[in-house]
Amino acid sequence: MIDNSTLVLFGARGNLAKVKLIPGLFHLDQAGKLPKNMKILSVGRQEVDESEWHSNIKKMLVEKFNSYDENVFERFIKRNLYHANLPDDPEAFIKFAKRLGDKDVFPQNLAFFLSVRPSDFALIVKQLSEVDLLDESEFWRRVLIEKPFGTCLKSAIELQNSIEEHLKEDQIYRIDHYLGKFSLQNIMTTRFKNGLLEPLWSSEHIEQIQITNHETLGVGDRTVFYEATGALRDMIQSHLLQMLALVTMEKPNSMSPEDVRLEKIKLLESIEAIPLDKIKNFAFRGQYAAGELKGETVQGYLEEVEKSDSVVETYAAIKLFINNSRWNKVPIYLRTAKRLYENSTSISVKFKNHENWLTINIQPNESTSFEITTLQPGLDMNEFRQTVLNGNNRIEGDETIDAYETLMLDLLSGDQSKFLHIDEVKAAWKLVDPIIDYWSKDKSKPTQYQPGEFDPEESKVIFEDESQFWKK
């Protein structure tokens, strides 16, 4: 059960709030998931009249859903209020606290969603603390921090040190929206609720694991962000390492948030550091060139950023090993890329001595498939082929819940199982920092690859065996 509370959305005029958060809250209200007296206070930098803000919300819902239930809208709009507040203005936070302190309007259990620039995370937490909005002597107070949590291990630790002056760990909700995806949460069910799989889930039977994310889109209008981040930081450090943890961790003692997070931490901390003297055999980077994709002429990355000397990767692939008895010597390949042949996020497990693959598709199709060898019909009884047994994890009539909807409900209910513990964040940065550092010093050009192609052949350098390559 969710307590009556107030959800405070910092960055309410930003794209995330417009596309995901506010439409998601409307959907939750429509589904009857929000407490009766819950309020939503949207916070932005600009002054906006309340009636104008309600009109803006209406536009967001029309753009998202085309049409909506007017009765639900009337209920939803009454929950919504707006407040202008600059993150670096102490006087503004005094006024803000005074408004939030009106118990006749706002339930005093407060959840703060920081959908703002990463440079504002620590500042806003400090300002909230100084006006006693994080004090839990009477009511609970929670703060959700958007990705990224730091840009390296050092900056993540500095951010943690700043916010833990004002917050306890159980008040901090570090978001990775991938963990809110139904198909990702289903990984644990697939593993632990099916007696067929768990006995085979080890180095004795598994040859390799591939965890991949690729899309046909380029960087587009995110050039400034991408130049500062790159594919490795953007996807592998967060999303793909979380997928790795879920697919390889030991079964938790229970499905409580504490037990699930404990096993993820143990797993991430057991991954072997990439040897610096062999880094070119463990990490590969590429950059999409200009070309043609599905009949459309597209720019190369260097043209988009207008920097001919940029070495920022749009394709990143790494090889990892887990130092424990279950996964000894099993290579785990992670790869993310833009402008590849299709949009797909998946986990593929290859079993030893056979062409048997188990693939868990995360998006766009939520499904689980298993490839087995079968006899090909005909006079020659020695001809074989691969047969794919495919099962959709979503069938007609299933409810569709956006990842952010799930995570906002978890924030309001106090469930941290789908949020990152600081030890997970540190472990992930420890793994990728040496690669980032190496690439920052290595000024050689990333391998150029053509839009829409499968994978650059040069990426084969990270594979353990000549017969191995990316699963299509």
CB count, 10 Å around CB of 383? Answer: 10
Q: What is the mean pLDDT of the chain?
A: 93
Q: What angle do CA 261, 158, 121 make, to 5 degrees?
A: 80
Same domain? For 120 and 221 the reply is no
Domain final residue pick, 122, 146, 170:
146
Residues spanned by the domain of 302: 181-399+421-462
CATH code for the domain of 127: 3.40.50.720
Question: Cβ atoms within 10 A of the Cβ of 419, count?
Answer: 21
What angle do helix axes 153-163 and 422-441 make, rounded to 10 degrees?
150
Quick check: helix, strand or coil at residue 365? coil
Same domain as 132, residue 252: no
Whether residues 90 and 236 share a domain: the answer is no
Q: Contact, 23 vs 64, CB < 8 A?
A: yes
Query: Per residue in 405-449, pLDDT tens?
Result: 999 999 999 999 999 999 999 999 999 999 999 999 998 999 999
Residue 245 maps to a domain: yes
Number of domains the chain is built from: 2
Query: Is the pLDDT assigned to residue 180 strictly greater than 80?
Result: yes
For residue 197, what pLDDT is reported? Answer: 87
Mean per-residue pLDDT for 67-78? 93
At which of 146, 170, 202 does a domain end?
A: 146
What's the length of the chain?
Answer: 472
Q: What integer is the mean pLDDT of 18-45? A: 95
Q: How confident is the model at residue 207 (pLDDT cuts 50, 70, 90)?
A: very high
User: Residue 392: what pLDDT?
Assistant: 85
Is 25 among the domain residues? yes
192 in the same domain as 337: yes
Q: Flag whether 173 is in a domain.
A: no
Alpha helices in 14-89 (DSSP H): 15-16, 22-30, 50-65, 70-79
Residues 207 and 82 placed together within one structural domain of the fold:
no
What single letter denotes the amino acid at residue 429? W
Do residues 38 and 4 lie in contact, with contact meaning Cβ atoms separated by under 8 Å? yes
Residue 326 belongs to some domain of the structure = yes
Q: What is the C-alpha separation between 335 and 459, in angstroms, rounded?
A: 10
User: Is residue 404 in a domain?
Assistant: no
Q: What is the mean pLDDT of residues 333-342?
A: 96
Q: Provide the pLDDT for residue 198.
A: 86
Residues 256 and 370 in one domain: yes
Catalytic residue among 27, 177, 239, 421: 239
Please state the rounded mean pLDDT for residues 459-467. 94
Residue 161 lies in a domain: no
**Residue 378 sits in a domain of what CATH number?**
3.30.360.10
On whether the CB atoms of residues 334 and 237 are closer than 8 A, the answer is: no
- 156 domain-assigned: no
Q: Are 277 and 134 in the same domain?
A: no
Question: Do 110 and 192 share a domain, yes or no?
Answer: no
Q: Which of 131, 146, 161 is the last residue of a domain?
A: 146
Does 1 reside within a domain?
no
| CA separation for the pair 132, 166 (Å, rounded) | 10
Residue 379 has a pLDDT of 67
pLDDT band at 275 (very low <50, low <70, confident <90, very high): very high
Q: Are residues 130 and 197 in the same domain?
A: no
Distance CA 335, CA 230 (A): 13
Residue 192 and residue 138 share a domain: no
Instruction: Give CA–CA dist 320/326, Å, rounded.
Output: 14
Percent of the chain scoring above 90 in pLDDT: 78
Predicted pLDDT at 181: 84
Upstream peptide bond of 118 is cis (omega within 30 degrees of 0): no
Is residue 288 predicted with pLDDT exceeding 70? yes
For residue 396, the model assigns a pLDDT of: 73
Mean pLDDT of 48-53: 92
Asked whether residue 1 carries a pLDDT value surpassing 80, the answer given is no
Q: How confident is the model at residue 187 (pLDDT cuts 50, 70, 90)?
A: confident
Phi, psi of 365 (to 5 degrees): -100, 120
Catalytic-residue membership of 239 = yes
With a cut of 70, say whether residue 53 has pLDDT above it.
Answer: yes
Give me Rg for the CA atoms of the chain: 24
- 192 and 308 co-located in one domain: yes
Domain shared by 257 and 342, yes or no? yes
Q: pLDDT-based confidence at 378, cuts 50/70/90?
A: confident
For residue 204, give both structure tokens.
């004795």
pLDDT of residue 244: 97
